[in-house]
Each structure stands twice: as structure tokens, then as C-alpha cells.
A and B are shown apart, each in its own frame.
Chain A
Amino acid sequence: MKLIDALKIAQRPAVDAAPSPRVFLACGFTPLHLQTFLAAHLRAKSPNARPEIRTGLFGDLAGNIERLELSSIDVLAIALEWADLDPRLGIRSLGGWRLADVDDIAASAEVVAARLLRAVKAVGGEVRVVACMPTLPLPPAFTTRGLQLSSQEAQLRRIVASLVESLLQFPTVRIINEQKLAQDSALLRRYDVRSDLQTGFPYTLDHASVLGELLSGLIDTHSPMKGLITDLDDTLWAGIVGDDGADGISWNLDGHSQMHGVYQQLLSSLASAGVLIGVASKNEEETVRQAFQREDLLLSSDDVFPLEIHWSRKSESVGRILRTWNIGADAVVFVDDNPAELAEVQAAFPDILCRQFPKDDPGNAWRLLNELRDLFGKPAVSKEDTLRMRSIRTSAVWRNQDSPHETGSDDFFRSADPCIVFDYGRVPEDSRGLDLVNKTNQFNLNGKRYTEAEWRQFFDDPAAFLLTATYEDKFGALGKIAVMMGTAREGSIHLRTWVMSCRAFSRGIEHQCLRYLFEDSGANQITFDFLPTTRNGPLQDYLKGLFDSALTAPLSLSKERFLAGTPPLFHRIEVNSRV
């Protein structure tokens, strides 16, 4: 992005009022164009938001963080450079590069790094922190030639690596991957010496743009893809299993098919992090079953569900897999080696992301695997992520039963031994509730997203409450699957947010959530902050059942009316109250 374009984007008026992050850009240099590029890239990602970016004092990175008023910011963005660890590592200070000075620089950098860690620790639990570690080259302050690493340089790099490792212990901290930065901004093109001397801004415009883009990428709430549907022949493995047999297919060096093994390895990794993996293949089921029995296959059949193995169109398979997963096509990647199959699926599902597996091109296969990492990567893997595939399998069992509203399914419900644990409190216990609110679309009261600061701020209201529900039955645990947030005053509840994971549909959990609020928390009336969105159809259907009418504001439900329409429920209920 050019600076002139960044200025235009940053100045563009916002059409609607959208949540706008309040960012504090902490750096020791003049923030100048980095501030502009950061604002522009944030605007480019969320055109209706008006990010507010504040900055601190020149030359005092740690002090700027220490002086922060946490209530006035949502995000702390840190651009650390070597000169922040010791001014002698920049060229605006002439403190000496004699051998003794350089030894002292390393010692003082250690002290500053510890101070920075303390400062971030003080804010890290409260706001999201995004940071980049030193991006500029070290100055020629060392006595070895440039091609030879000096012990002091090694010491400085160890200090930074240790700082990074400590910072990443905080769940709210995200740090720019140096490998990605190196791909997008070559080291030799980052430092603008003249600008550093004249204005105190050390970056070239290109580097400032890249850094602004990467920082904004960490600030932006990124929704990773949720599922990957893969072909088998010449994709998951090399060869045609129907022709070559289970023993004739390969994914190894000897068979010149190693990249298929690497692909399997990546899919297995994604599955372990909660990504749904399905198979759409034109084959005989028994032949594929034999292939999946091979012990050297790197992707376990336990990690794949469902497998659509038949001779029908791929788009039919994809449609069935999407219904089983209960997610939209826009959250799914379809990988196949055959361009015709990709085109057929793309025509049927315009929102699905199709990628061709480059079976005879290891370089492009490598690029595809890196793209998949970017598409599916998430800041951290939660307990719920690791339970996802098992819960999808059990959901399929549930879906084969009748609706919970019909008496014919009562025996099945009872036999599943369903248990809901409600956690009711005045303050959020962990970030999982907010994560669920920010990524749930279908059963979502109004689609509203929150920053960590907005979420925390809501609980300053003494009437605020948070109710979360965790579910388990004999088929397995689903983890935390529902979140309700609102205020409770004199028997009346104002429900601001209500989301439930799509994995938990059709189990009566939504009824139990409302029942808990009416019966256990003593409410007589619940008012819903309902807003229709393009994606919250399942929530709208549920509310229409409750209100038996058009959903017009204000949407209020009495206890009497709710209880009169409640179907039989068979869950065991446990309650943890944190009031």
C-alpha cells in the first residue's frame, strides 16, 4: 500500500457505526507513517470501523506501556526495535561501540527486556496485545565481520527470544511471526537511515506498510476456516486406489510421492486442532476402507468424518458433508487434483474455497500447504476444538433421531444421559465465552461482536450476569456450547447476547438455558436484544416457535408463556454459581 492510498483510506468517512478498536501504538521512535499504515490497514479490513490510534512519548517504549490507562484502550500494539532495548543500538545516540560498551549494551538490554515483560504482564490480562520484535538490522557495533555472528549479537537475540517466549505465556498476547515478516519485507529494504536521522522514523514506507498490515492482521478478529474436504486419489495419496489397490498407492520418497505424505501430515495436524476433515471420493467403499487400514497412513480414520465414497457427483458429497458438519460452505476448503471436479463443486457452492492439489509439483504443493496453514490457523487451540470431531459424530447420531419436541424420541434422550452444567457469574471466568460469541453465526441473538475491553466493560454494571452452559452425554463431551449475557433487575432479565454452538442443536439445550433463567435465577420476564441477520436463521426459527408470531421489537417473554410451551426435558442439570 502506498502512503498516499493509506492516507485516503484512513480519512475515508465510516458509513455505519461499527465497533472501532481503540489502539495504543507503543514504540520508541516517531510513529509517523506506521500510525497511518496501521489505521489504513485496519480500515481496509473493517471499512465501517473508525479505529482510534494513540501514541506515546518518543524514546520511552516501556514507559509508554507502564503509563497506559487500560480503560481507554482495547488493543496495545508494540513495535519494538533494538534501540528500545538500548539507545546505543540505534544511530541517533552516540553512546559508544567500544568492546566494553557492547558488553554493557547486552547487559542493559536484558534489564530493559525484563522491564518490558513486567509492563506487558500488567496489561496483558486486560487488553489484547499485538507485538513485533526488532525488525531492523543491528548496527555495525560488533567487532566481527558482518558474516560472522558475534557473541554479543547472539546474546541480544537470545534476550529477544526469551522475551517472546515469556510474552507468549499470556493468552492475550500475539506476536508477528518473523518468518512471515521476512517473506513480505526483505531485511535490506526495511531501514531508512536518512528518515531515521531527519525525523526519528526509521522505516522505509514499504516496510511500514507491511508492518502495519501484519499488526492489523493480529488485531483484527480473524475467523479461521472450519472444515476441509479432500479427494483421495492423487491427492491424499499418489495413485488410483481402485486400479493400483491399497498396496499400490504411495506417499513416500521411494514412490516420488512424498508431498502426499506431507499433506496427510498437515491434515492430521489440523484435525488435532479441531479442524473438520471430510472425504469426497469417487471410489468403491471397500477399496477405500482397505487403504485406510494401512498402518503407514499418517491421517487416522478417526480424524476423518464423514467419508463420502461413491460414484455420485462430488457436489452431492460436499452437500452431505456440509449438512453433517452443520457449517456454511464459506468456512470450508475443498481440495482435489481434478480441475473438472473443482469446477463442478465450485458451481454448486460458490462460497466454498476450491484448491487444486498439484500432484506432480512439489513446489506448488508446498505453497498450498502453507496457504492451508494460513486459512485454518487460530490464535490458540481450546479444549472445545479438540472435542469437535467427536461431537460431530455424535451429532450425526442425534440427527437420526426425532426432534426433541416429539414424544417419540424421549427414550433416546433419556438413554443418552445428557448433562448440562450451568456456570452463572457476575464476571467472565475465561475467554472461551467471548470466543464463542465472536464466532457463532447461526444461533446468535443479534450477531453482535465484542472486543475484550467491551466485553469486560459490560460487567462493570452490577446487574450484569454471564451464563455459560457445558454439555456432555454418553456419546461424549461437547464442552462449553452456550453463552448468555445480560442484566438482571427486579425479576426482569434483559438478554443482550445469546449464542449456542451449532454442534448443540436439537438437544433441548436452548430450552434449558431459558428455563434456568426463569426458574433458578427468579426472573419473570426476559427481554431479548434480537436482531435478524443473514445467518441467524436457526435462532429466528427457535424464537418464532416461542412467540408463535412475527419477531417484532420489543421481544419479551413471560415465565408463564415459556413454561406452557416447554417440551419434556431430560437433562441432568448441575450449577456452578460464582456470584
Chain B
Amino acid sequence: MSELENRLTACFASVFPALTEAEIPNASTESISVWDSLSFVTLAAVIQEEFNFEIDPEVLPNLDSFQAFRAYLQAALPALDRKEA
């Protein structure tokens, strides 16, 4: 996994502690029943703090899964997307 994926996984784990590490890459609003507006706001805040990066409010509603967050962050922070040894 890249540094970006590692850190994003940690963010998801802190907000959805019931998910295993294997489940996190497939996490989405549809797969997680506790993914409500409150947990979404918390997740967004954790990710912004973790990556020291402000998510565009226009994009925010489209970030409805781990993969969506990953793709958005990869585009915004390409330097963090290098695979770790």
C-alpha cells in the first residue's frame, strides 16, 4: 500500500472501528450502515486534519466511499501515492 492508502485506512478505522482492515478498501455509504451524516462529517474532518488539506466543498458530497476518497486524494496529493517498500 502507498503512504496515502495507509493513512486513509487509519482515518477510516478511527471513524468506523468495527471494520477490519480488509473491509476498509470496500467501505462505502452503501456497505456501511453506520455511515451517516455525522460519521461523514467526522470522517471528512479526520482526513482533512490527517492530510493537512482542505477538501473542496463542491466535491465533498461525491466522496461516498473509500475508493472515492482515495482517488480524490491521489489527484490532489500525488506525492503521497508512492508505494511503500
Contact = CB atoms under 8 A, between A and B. Distances in A.
Interface of A: 2-4, 7-8, 11, 32-33, 36, 194-195, 198-199, 201, 205
Given A3-B46, A205-B49, A194 B57 contact: yes
A109 B67 CA distance: 48
B41 A32 contact: yes
A32 B36 CA distance: 13
Contacts of A195: 45
B50 interface: yes
Contact of A32 (B11, B15, B38, B50): B38
The 10 A-B pairs with the shortest beta carbon distances in the complex, nearest first, are A7-B14, A4-B14, A11-B17, A4-B46, A3-B46, A199-B41, A3-B49, A205-B49, A8-B14, A3-B45
A7 B57 contact: no
A32 B17 CA distance: 17
Given A8-B14, A11-B17, A194-B57, A2 B42 contact: no
Contacts of A36: 42
A172 to B, nearest CB: 32
Given A4-B11, A4-B49, A33 B57 contact: no
A243 B8 CA distance: 67
Interface of B: 10-11, 14-15, 17, 38, 41-42, 45-46, 49-50, 57
A231 B57 CA distance: 61
Contacts of A4: 10-11, 14, 46, 49-50
A194 B57 CA distance: 9
A419 to B, nearest CB: 59
A198 B15 contact: no
A7 B45 CA distance: 12
Which residue, A3, A11, A205, has most C-beta atoms of chain B within 10 A?
A3
A33 B17 contact: no
Contacts of B46: 3-4, 7
A556 to B, nearest CB: 47
Contacts of B41: 32, 199, 201
Contacts of B14: 3-4, 7-8, 11
A3 B41 CA distance: 12
Contacts of A205: 45, 49
Nearest to A6: B14
A7 B18 CA distance: 13
Contacts of A33: 42, 45
A198 B44 CA distance: 12
Contacts of A199: 41
25 contacts: A2-B49, A2-B50, A3-B14, A3-B42, A4-B10, A4-B14, A4-B46, A4-B50, A7-B14, A7-B15, A7-B42, A7-B46, A8-B14, A11-B14, A32-B38, A32-B41, A32-B42, A33-B42, A33-B45, A194-B57, A195-B45, A199-B41, A201-B41, A205-B45, A205-B49
A194 B50 CA distance: 18
Which residue, B17, B49, B50, B57, has most C-beta atoms of chain A within 10 A?
B49
Given A4-B46, A32-B42, A194-B57, 20 more contacts: A2-B49, A2-B50, A3-B14, A3-B46, A3-B49, A4-B10, A4-B11, A4-B14, A4-B50, A7-B17, A7-B42, A7-B46, A8-B14, A11-B14, A32-B41, A36-B42, A195-B45, A198-B57, A201-B41, A205-B45
A348 B5 CA distance: 51
Contacts of A2: 49-50
Nearest to B10: A4
A33 B11 CA distance: 15
Contacts of A3: 14, 42, 45-46, 49
Nearest to A9: B14
A332 B50 CA distance: 41
Contacts of B10: 4
Nearest to B15: A7
Nearest to A11: B17
Contacts of B50: 2, 4
B64 to A, nearest CB: 17
A7 to B, nearest CB: 4
Nearest to A194: B57
A205 B41 CA distance: 13
A33 B42 CA distance: 7
Contacts of A201: 41
A91 to B, nearest CB: 16
A209 to B, nearest CB: 10
A201 B45 CA distance: 11
Nearest to A205: B49
Nearest to B47: A4
B27 to A, nearest CB: 16
Nearest to A5: B14
B3 to A, nearest CB: 15
Contacts of B11: 4
Nearest to A36: B42
Nearest to B41: A199
A7 B41 CA distance: 13
A69 to B, nearest CB: 24
A194 B38 CA distance: 16
Contacts of B45: 3, 33, 195, 205
Contacts of B15: 7
A33 B14 CA distance: 13
